[in-house]
Amino acid sequence: MPAMTMVQAINNALREEMRRDDRVIVLGEDVGRNGGVFRCTEGLLDEFPERVFDTPLAEGGIIGTAIGMALYGLRPVPEIQFMDFIYPAFDQIVSEAAKMRYRSGGQFTVPMTIRTPFGGGIRGGHYHSQSSEAYFCHTPGLKVVVPSTPKEAKGLLTASIRDPDPVMFLEPKKLYRSSREEVPEGEVLVPLGEAAVRRPGKDVSLIAYGYMAQVCLEAATKAAAKGVEAEVIDLRTLVPLDEPTLLASVKKTGRAVVVYEAPRTAGFGAEISAILAEKAIEYLRGPIVRVTGFDTPFPYALEDVYLPNSDRVLAAIDKVMTF
């Protein structure tokens, strides 16, 4: 079983799905000969010369074209080079792709997976580091998926490509090459809508996704040295959300720390906090604490200050444990 980075696992998932299903099409800026800005599509053009193609720098055109492909029976996987540049395609995504099943009474769906790198950690500054997942979680009709390990990137991407509805597949740039793990060749499927318990614990629940799931694992290790057993919940899919796993953890521990790197105000973690306040209030032994980015543009020089780290999460754990 080969050890892969997340980039390699994504490439492997695309390659295997394109071999399995000739309806799968890859399109986007520099995805062909260049293999994508992060090389996630490297080598696909050589094997599938008629199903991998570069596009103009026109995000609205990329997504609009992919919607048309999906409506006519293909399974396009468009890449938006950075999530920060997805906004010219916002109307196509939220007004067309997300609404098609509803407006057609179920006669049409848009089986399209939009891949895009998001988040900080690579010194990209304010135009290459944003986390705007909450915009899309707010839109009925879209599914939103965020992997945190190479193996799950393959399994979640495979499940996304096979899904009948439009999926936003958000790839944490910080995790692209930061680690390797064994990833099976052949089919790997991770069902959408199922969270993962990354580390069991009894004292406090740490709830996160993407790169922040790894940060929470680091914080849990530090907390264990102080005698606190933190349970780490990796949401994996934001929409649909696995509420049963989330609630079961918090009902067990009685404490919750929600971690996300987007700006604090109206981030997806605020929705998590609201769900816990509504459905687990009688189990809570302390306040729900959020550890987040700040309500500022993403900085270049102060990236390490902006991004939540294990020490900030540990401070939040201390806060809820001593309440």
Catalytic residues: 128
5 Rama class: left (phi>0) / alpha (psi -120 to 50) / beta: beta
Nearest alpha-carbon partner for 128 in 300, 293, 304: 300
The one-letter code for the residue type at 130 is: Q
Tokens standing for residue 272 = 């998590």
CA distances in angstroms from 290 to 142, 211, 258, listed in the order given: 25, 16, 5
CA-closest candidate to residue 188, choices 147, 232, 227, 228: 147
Distances (CA, A) of 297 to 186, 212, 274: 41, 19, 25
Q: How far apart are CA 259 and CA 318, in angstroms?
A: 15
Please tell me whether residue 252 adopts helix, strand or coil conformation: helix
> How many angstroms from the chain centroid is the CA of residue 83?
11
Which two three-digit tokens encode residue 158? 């495979």
CA separation for the pair 172, 6 (Å, rounded): 9
Residue 86 exposure: Cα atoms within 13 Å on the Cβ side: 26
Residue 304, CA distances (Å) to 119, 298, 308 in order: 13, 11, 8
**Cα 289 from Cα 316, distance rounded (Å):** 7
Among the listed residues 53, 145, 64, the one whose alpha carbon sits nearest the alpha carbon of residue 100 = 64
